[in-house]
Structure 1
Amino acid sequence: MRKTLTALLLAATLPTLAMAMPMHEGGPRHHDRGHGMFKELNLSQEQRQEFRRLMGEQMKSKREITQRYLDKLPEADKQAMHKELEKARADQHKALRELLNPEQQKAFDEHQKKMEARRAEMAEFKAWKAEKEGQGN
Structure 2
Amino acid sequence: MNRKTLAALILATALPAMVMAGGHGGPDSHSGPESHAGRPGHGGIPILEDLDLSKEQSRDIRKLVGEEMKSRHEITKRYLDKLPEAEKAAMKKEMDESRDKTRASIRNLLTPEQQKEFDEKQKKIEAKRQEYAEFLKWKAERDQKH
Q: TM-score, normalised by structure 1?
A: 0.77
- Unaligned runs of 5+ residues in structure 1 are none
Instruction: Report the structure, 1 or 2, having the larger helix content.
Output: 1
Report the alpha carbon displacement of residue 57 of structure 1 after superposing the two structures with TM: 1.7
What SS does the corresponding residue of 2:72 show, helix, strand or coil? helix
Q: Describe the shift of the 1:64–1:73 C-alpha distance in structure 2 as closer, same or farther (beyond 3 A).
A: same
Q: Percent identity?
A: 45
- Unaligned runs of 5+ residues in structure 2 are 35-40, 44-48
Q: TM-score, normalised by structure 2?
A: 0.73
- Aligned partner (choices 70, 75, 83) of residue 80 of structure 2: 70
2-side partners of 1:10 and 1:63: how far apart? 9
Whether 1:121 and 2:94 are equivalent positions in the alignment is no
| Corresponding pairs, count | 132
Whether 1:12 and 2:12 are equivalent positions in the alignment is yes
- Aligned partner (choices 37, 42, 53) of residue 37 of structure 1: 42
Q: Describe the shift of the 1:50–1:132 C-alpha distance in structure 2 as closer, same or farther (beyond 3 A).
A: farther
CA RMSD of aligned residues (A): 2.8
Kept in 2, the 8 Å contact 1:97–1:108? The answer is yes
Report the alpha carbon displacement of residue 24 of structure 1 after superposing the two structures with TM: 5.8
Kept in 1, the 8 Å contact 2:13–2:76? The answer is yes
Q: Describe the shift of the 1:20–1:91 C-alpha distance in structure 2 as closer, same or farther (beyond 3 A).
A: farther
Kept in 2, the 8 Å contact 1:70–1:78? The answer is yes
Report the alpha carbon displacement of residue 2 of structure 1 after superposing the two structures with TM: 1.8
* AA matched with 2:42: M
Report the alpha carbon displacement of residue 108 of structure 1 after superposing the two structures with TM: 0.7
